[in-house]
Amino acid sequence: MTKHIFVTGGVASSLGKGLTAASLGRLLKQRGLRVVIQKLDPYINVDPGTMNPFEHGEVFVTDDGGETDLDLGHYERFIDENLTRDSNATTGSIYSTVIASERHGEFLGKTVQVIPHITDEIQRRIRMLTGDDVDVLITEVGGTVGDIEILPFLEAIRQFRLDVGGTNVCYVHVTLVPFIAPSGEHKTKPTQHSVTELRSAGIQPDAIVCRSDEPISDDLERKISRLSNVPFAGVVNCPDAGSLYEIPLVVHDEGLDQFVCDTLHLITDPPDLDGWRALNERLAEATTPVRIGLIGKYVSLVDAYLSVVESLNHAGIHHGAAVEIDWIQAEDVEGLLGENRLRDLDGIVIPGGFGERGVEGKIAAAGFAREHDIPCLGLCLGLQCMTIEYARNVLGLERAHSSEFDPSSPHPVIDLMESQRDVSDKGGTMRLGAYVAQLRPGSQVAQIYGTDVVSERHRHRYEFNPRYRARFEDTDFACTGESPDGRLVEFIELEGHPFWVATQAHPEFKSRPDRPAPLFRAFIGAALERAGGRNPQLIPAEAEAEAAG
């Protein structure tokens, strides 16, 4: 029978519930257990797909096309498993399902209520991920205890223990232990109030993860234990870490995974953490600086590009490089000021996005990278901007653009496919999830991937216009990856350039800390070569060997 761990949080949002769940998942997987993680979000949107990145951060996309919370990215990166759209459920999707069932007469005329109908649907979403092939399901409940939106979820997980038995459920509560500077000490009162609030919903936590800026004393942990009725062994401290990837080691050293296994009566071997410790050692030793400019529209909220940043870091670990990201607002790139800022970069990333704002800046950055031999990686909208730049400035197609941004452009080198034009629901026109691409044998991207067939995740609506493909391919601009039917361009590259490569996909969603996405790995390698060319002593031995090979 599948065991269940429910992770809740109190006091404040962004304490790290998702990273706690992901870290615990990694530790349990290293004990030989089969682990799945899901996120229950209390907002009323059906999914985060239409939410502003400033509101919610990035939208993480699963292989099956689910537009999900960014915490699923943490889950996948930590437990190294591909999750599905079923690993993210929102209040909006739950209510939509219940209302649709009521409209179809499935409740036989009964009054539909939060209890039992909404709570039953929440429990159904949880049970969907259980089975003989899942030993442990970790469910993170979004929001904080005390929020009005979270109450149905708390009631659902309270009932869950009654349904499956006490030894099959463990409640882990993440709380804040702030340091109050005037008094010079950490305070436990926020944690006490948070636990009291959780108990008022009928849930007694089995374990408490105390988030703090610095380690707290055993005396404080004992105080929390006494006041929350949680065993001392179940009160663990998770202070701020130097890296996300240290967190599993921190909570393991505090004994969280062993305590959870004891609570759930799981008998396992100790976790094999040699590989994870080696990863952190490589991270600590990655000191060769490489400066990457990220040309974005949402740079004031770094979570909007979370998977891109982590993919750059993964590639940095691989090459022994410390990636320094220069967050550049796309609207600021045009003109001399932008050029001066781009000139000293070792590489440029042009990430995805929606809407016209900042597009001209991204186009300008693509052109600067092309003209000055700066490694440039385009992702989704990045491919489109690089295509537009080349069309305007090399092919001489005046006012070339995407029909998304300039419907009157005489040269819509980026356009909707005919099959998408009559779809009124914007979500219906999106290409979402994993799609296969055929790479041109011998091309740069084929060499990077080491294969001619790849699968990457997508989230976009507009495509490279095939009517212009012949004009591009008569030049150094090469369409080196396409859909199996040959209709859609998936990868482009520029012959003779150190690295001017783009994809219509989002390879950042499949990157792992110990297995970086191939395009990011190659991009950072090219950026290191540029950094070494300007400062030869910076070239690490591995990058030097790769360059020679």
DSSP 304-366: GGHHHHHHHHHHHHHHTEEEEEEEEEGGG-SSHHHHHHHHT-SEEEE----SSTTHHHHHHHH
pLDDT in tens, 180-217: 988 889 999 999 999 999 999 999 999 999 999 999 99
Reduced to 3 states, what is the DSSP secondary structure of residue 422?
coil
Provide the terminal-to-terminal Cα distance of the chain, rounded to the nearest Å. Answer: 51
Say whether 287-414+429-548 and 3-278 share the same fold: yes
Residues paired with residue 36 on neighbouring β-strands, in sequence order: 137
Quote the pLDDT of residue 184.
86
Quote the pLDDT of residue 533: 63
Cβ 30 vs Cβ 257: under 8 Å: no
Domain ranges for the chain, please list them: 3-278, 287-414+429-548
- Residue 250 amino acid letter: V
The predicted pLDDT at position 303 comes to: 92
Could you tell me the two tokens for 436?
A: 């296969």
Residue-level pLDDT at 55: 79
**Distance in angstroms (rounded) separating the CA atoms of residues 440 and 422:** 32
Are 475 and 393 in contact by the 8 Å Cβ rule? The answer is no
List the catalytic residues.
380, 506, 508
pLDDT < 50: residue spans in the chain? 422-427, 537-545, 547-549
Inter-residue contact 69 to 142 (CB < 8 Å): yes
Closest CA to 236 of 245, 222, 227: 222
Contacts of 329 (CB under 8 A, 6+ apart): 296, 297, 299, 300, 358, 361
Q: How many residues in total does the chain contain?
A: 549
Q: How far apart are CA 213 and CA 16, in angstroms?
A: 12
Residue 92 burial class via C-beta count within 10 angstroms: exposed 0-12, middle 13-18, buried 19 and up: middle
Buried (b) or exposed (e) across 96-121, using 16+ Cβ within 10 A? Answer: ebbeeeeeeeeeeeeeeeeeebbbeb
Q: ∠ CA 55-57-58 to the nearest 5 degrees?
A: 135
Per-residue model confidence (pLDDT) at position 394: 97
Sheet strands side by side (includes 412-415): 401-402, 412-415, 463-464
Please name the residues in contact with 468: beta carbons below 8 A apart, sequence gap of 6 or more: 391, 397, 411, 413
Question: Distance between CA 155 and CA 161 in Å, rounded?
Answer: 11
- Kind of pairing between the strands at 489-494 and 477-482: antiparallel
Neighbours of 32 (CB within 10 A): 11
Q: What is the CATH number of domain 3-278?
A: 3.40.50.300
Amino acid making up residue 265 = H
What pLDDT does residue 415 have? 96
3-state secondary structure of 491: strand
Q: What is the CATH number that goes with domain 287-414+429-548? A: 3.40.50.880
